[in-house]
Structure 1
Amino acid sequence: MMGTNTATEVVLPGKVEPAGLRLVERVLPPPGAGEALVRVEATAVSFAESAMRRGRYYGQPAFPFVPGYDLVGVVEQVGPGVDGALVGRRVAALTKTGAWATAVLLTAADLVEVPDGIGADEAETLIVNGLTAYQMLHGSARVRAGQTVLVLGASGGVGTILVQLARQAGARVIGTASPRHHEALRALGVEPVDYRDPDLAARIRELAPGGVDAVFDHLGGKSVDQSYRLLNRTGTLVAYSIASSLDDKSSVLLIFMALLSKLAFWNYLPTGRHASFYNVWAGAGKPGSAKREAFRARIRTDLTRVFELQRDGKLTAQIAARYPLSEVAAAVALSESANRTALGKIILIP
Structure 2
Amino acid sequence: MSLDSVEHPASGTADGTPRAGANTLVRMTGSGEPEARIHTAEGPRPTPGKGKVLIEVEAAGVSYAEVQMLQHLHPFPPKFPFVPGYDLVGRIVEVGPGVTGWKSGDRVAAMPRQGAWQRFVELPTTTLAAAPDELDAAVAVALITNGVTAYQMLHRSTHLRPGQTVLVHGASGGVGALLTQLAVHHGLRVIGTASPAKHDTVRDLGAEPLDYRTPDIVAAVRALAPQGVQAVFDHIGGRGLDAAWTMLAPAGTLVSFDSSVAGYRPGQWFRPHVPALRRTVARYFARLLGLTGGRRMSMYYVKPGPNFTTDYAELCRLAAAGVLTPRIAGRHRLAGAATAVRALLDGSSVGKHVLLP
Separation (CA, whole Å) in 1 of partners of 2:160 and 2:334? 38
Q: Check whether the contact 2:46–2:121 (CA below 8 A) recurs between aligned residues.
A: no
Equivalent in the alignment of 1:247: 263
Structure 1 residue 72 corresponds to structure 2 residue 79: no
Q: Check whether the contact 2:73–2:272 (CA below 8 A) recurs between aligned residues.
A: no
Structure 1 residue 326 corresponds to structure 2 residue 335: yes
Separation (CA, whole Å) in 2 of partners of 1:330 and 1:129? 20
After TM superposition, give the deviation of residue 118 of structure 1 in Å. Answer: 0.7
Amino acid at match of 2:195: S
Deviations 1:184-236, CA, capped at 9 Å, x for gaps: 21121100001112232222111101100000000000110111110011110
Amino acid at match of 1:301: T
Equivalent in the alignment of 1:337: 346
Q: Check whether the contact 1:150–1:173 (CA below 8 A) recurs between aligned residues.
A: yes
After TM superposition, give the deviation of residue 4 of structure 1 in Å. Answer: 6.0
Q: Check whether the contact 1:175–1:193 (CA below 8 A) recurs between aligned residues.
A: yes
Structure 1 residue 7 corresponds to structure 2 residue 29: no
Matches within 5 A, 1:147-296: 147-243=164-260, 245-249=261-265, 251-269=268-286, 270-271=291-292, 272-281=294-303, 296=305
Equivalent in the alignment of 2:49: 32
Structure 1 residue 317 corresponds to structure 2 residue 339: no
After TM superposition, give the deviation of residue 337 of structure 1 in Å. Answer: 0.7
- Most deviating of 63-72 and 107-116: 107-116
- Most deviating of 150-159 and 314-323: 314-323
Separation (CA, whole Å) in 1 of partners of 2:61 and 2:296? 32
Matches within 5 A, 1:293-304: 296-304=305-313
Deviations 1:77-123, CA, capped at 9 Å, x for gaps: 11111137521122111011111111111112211111232111111
Matched residue of 1:126: which SS?
A: helix
Amino acid at match of 1:316: T
TM normalised by structure 2 equals 0.90
Q: Check whether the contact 2:60–2:356 (CA below 8 A) recurs between aligned residues.
A: yes
Amino acid at match of 2:354: I
Separation (CA, whole Å) in 1 of partners of 2:113 and 2:262? 18
Matched residue of 2:319: which SS?
A: helix
* Residues 24, 221 of structure 1: alpha-carbon distance in 2 compared, 3 angstrom cutoff: same
Equivalent in the alignment of 2:7: none
Q: Check whether the contact 1:215–1:238 (CA below 8 A) recurs between aligned residues.
A: yes
Deviations 1:108-167, CA, capped at 9 Å, x for gaps: 221111123211111111100011111111111122211100000001000000001111
Aligned length: 334
Q: Check whether the contact 1:6–1:103 (CA below 8 A) recurs between aligned residues.
A: no
- Most deviating of 59-68 and 212-221: 59-68
Equivalent in the alignment of 2:6: none
Unaligned residue ranges in structure 2 (runs of 5+): 1-12
Q: Check whether the contact 2:30–2:70 (CA below 8 A) recurs between aligned residues.
A: yes
After TM superposition, give the deviation of residue 74 of structure 1 in Å. Answer: 1.0
Q: Check whether the contact 1:319–1:343 (CA below 8 A) recurs between aligned residues.
A: yes
Amino acid at match of 1:199: D
Separation (CA, whole Å) in 1 of partners of 2:20 and 2:175? 34
Separation (CA, whole Å) in 1 of partners of 2:221 and 2:305? 38
* Residues 4, 301 of structure 1: alpha-carbon distance in 2 compared, 3 angstrom cutoff: farther
Separation (CA, whole Å) in 2 of partners of 1:258 and 1:217? 13
Separation (CA, whole Å) in 2 of partners of 1:92 and 1:4? 25
Separation (CA, whole Å) in 2 of partners of 1:16 and 1:225? 31
Higher RCO structure (Cα 8 Å, ≥6 apart): 2
Matched residue of 1:123: which SS?
A: helix
After TM superposition, give the deviation of residue 257 of structure 1 in Å. Answer: 3.3
Which of 76, 92, 100 pairs up with 1:59?
76
Separation (CA, whole Å) in 2 of partners of 1:261 and 1:84? 43
Equivalent in the alignment of 1:89: 106
Amino acid at match of 1:14: G
Q: Check whether the contact 1:161–1:315 (CA below 8 A) recurs between aligned residues.
A: yes
Separation (CA, whole Å) in 1 of partners of 2:280 and 2:315? 28
Separation (CA, whole Å) in 1 of partners of 2:161 and 2:177? 19
Unaligned residue ranges in structure 1 (runs of 5+): 282-294
Equivalent in the alignment of 1:285: none
Separation (CA, whole Å) in 1 of partners of 2:238 and 2:188? 27
Separation (CA, whole Å) in 1 of partners of 2:273 and 2:39? 30
Separation (CA, whole Å) in 2 of partners of 1:18 and 1:256? 22
TM normalised by structure 1 equals 0.91
Equivalent in the alignment of 1:104: 121
Separation (CA, whole Å) in 1 of partners of 2:33 and 2:271? 25
Equivalent in the alignment of 1:44: 61
